[in-house]
Amino acid sequence: MAISKDFTSILFKEWEINFLQCYPNGFLKYTDLCNILQLTAGLHAELGGIAFSDMQEYHQAWVLSRMRVEVRRLPKWKDVVTVKTWINSLENSRSVRCLELYLGGEKIVGCETFWAVFNTDTRRPEALALPHAHFEKYPNDKATSVQFSKIDTTVETRFVTEKMILFSDLDIVNHANSVKYLEWCLDYAEPEILLNRQIESFEMNYLKEVSLNETVVIKKSVAENPMTFTVSSSDKVCFALQLNCRGNSKS
């Protein structure tokens, strides 16, 4: 395990928004927002010596379990944003990481993530094998106004589509990448919701990994606000997404 000389317990990282990351209206895609946040988290773990390459000595990896994102507004093409990240808690196999995205000194996105240590051989959670005392923890510092929660998957839903997991869906842990689930679901949200930047917050629960050639069923809630999507395999919910949009609730 190598700790970088540039390591600090709170990381600030700049990103410039490029056109490949934007919707037709020129604003950052929600999926690419999540990619930027997760890349920043990964960089911080790498600098602190607890990244994927370090953990693979023990056949371990971080996997995302829950994620809540609160969006005041989205950055647009050519904007330079700064992501701030820190660890709220890290104990045994679980860690809560906070992230904030700033534009011109203004916080425009807050994010709270819940990660688990995952054995890539047994595909089961286990305690982190690497030391992490050099990471200062900030248990009282939150990035969101509401903590992530368990999404209700018993709401009334309707069938949207079936999808087979393709090679392009996989990540370095050899399962469907966490942002891919969001992408699959948002493809079946009304485009106006995305283009008009109506999403005030969204939350994701990752319940079970899905793998290459597995077929999943995507369903969408009858209620429109909050709007819930589920991704299921063999009648078991693997992923849930809840979108909370600006405006009055409808059903």
* 104 and 34 in a common domain: yes
For residues 157 and 143, membership in a common domain is answered with no
Give the integer Cα–Cα distance in Å for 50 and 42.
9
Q: Which residues contact 244 (CB under 8 A, 6 or more apart)?
A: 199, 200, 201, 202, 203, 225, 226
190 and 125, same structural domain? no
Q: How many domains does the chain have?
A: 2
Domain boundary among 148, 167, 183: 148
Cα–Cα dist 166/215, whole Å:
10
Evaluate whether 32 touches 40 at the Cβ level (below 8 Å): no
What gap in Å lies between CA 58 and CA 173, rounded to an integer?
Answer: 14
Q: How does pLDDT run across 24-79, given as a tens digit for each residue?
A: 999 999 999 999 999 999 999 999 999 999 999 999 999 999 999 999 999 999 99
Residue 249: predicted pLDDT? 38
Asked whether residue 105 falls in the same domain as residue 187, the answer is no
Rounded to whole angstroms, how far apart are CA atoms 59 and 109? Answer: 33
- Which of 148, 181, 196 represents a domain boundary (last residue)? 148
- Domain CATH for 46: 3.10.129.10
On whether both 128 and 157 belong to a single domain, the answer is no
Let me know whether 52 and 171 are in one domain: no
Q: Does one domain contain both 173 and 193?
A: yes
90 shares a domain with 37: yes
From first to last of the 251 residues of the chain, give the pLDDT tens digit.
689 999 999 999 999 999 999 999 999 999 999 999 999 999 999 999 999 999 999 999 999 999 999 999 999 999 999 999 999 999 999 999 999 999 999 999 999 999 999 999 999 999 999 999 999 999 999 999 999 999 999 999 999 999 999 999 999 999 999 999 999 999 999 999 999 999 999 999 999 999 999 999 999 999 989 999 999 999 999 999 999 998 643 33
Single pTM value for the model:
0.95
CB-based contact 209:175 (threshold 8 Å):
yes
Residue carrying the six token digits 């990244």: 51
- Give me the torsion for CA of 126, 133, 114, 55, rounded to 10°: -50
Q: What is the pLDDT of residue 129?
A: 95
Q: End of a domain among 148, 175, 199?
A: 148
Question: Are both 126 and 19 inside the same structural domain?
Answer: yes
The whole domain housing 53 covers 1-148
Count of positions (residues) in the chain: 251
Q: Give the model's pLDDT for residue 1.
A: 67
Instruction: Say if residue 57 is in the same domain as residue 166.
Output: no
Contact (CB, 8 A) for 80 and 39: no
Instruction: Quickly list H helices, 123-171.
Output: none
Pairwise CA distance, residues 93 & 90, whole Å = 8
- Say which residues have a Cβ less than 8 Å from residue 216's Cβ, sequence separation at least 6: 162, 163, 164, 165, 210, 231, 232, 233, 238
| Distance of alpha carbon 195 from alpha carbon 158, whole angstroms | 24
Contact 211, 165 (CB under 8 A): yes
In a shared domain, residues 132 and 154: no
Three-class DSSP category at 150: coil
Give the Cα separation of 174 and 11 in Å (integer). 28
Say if residue 143 is in the same domain as residue 155: no
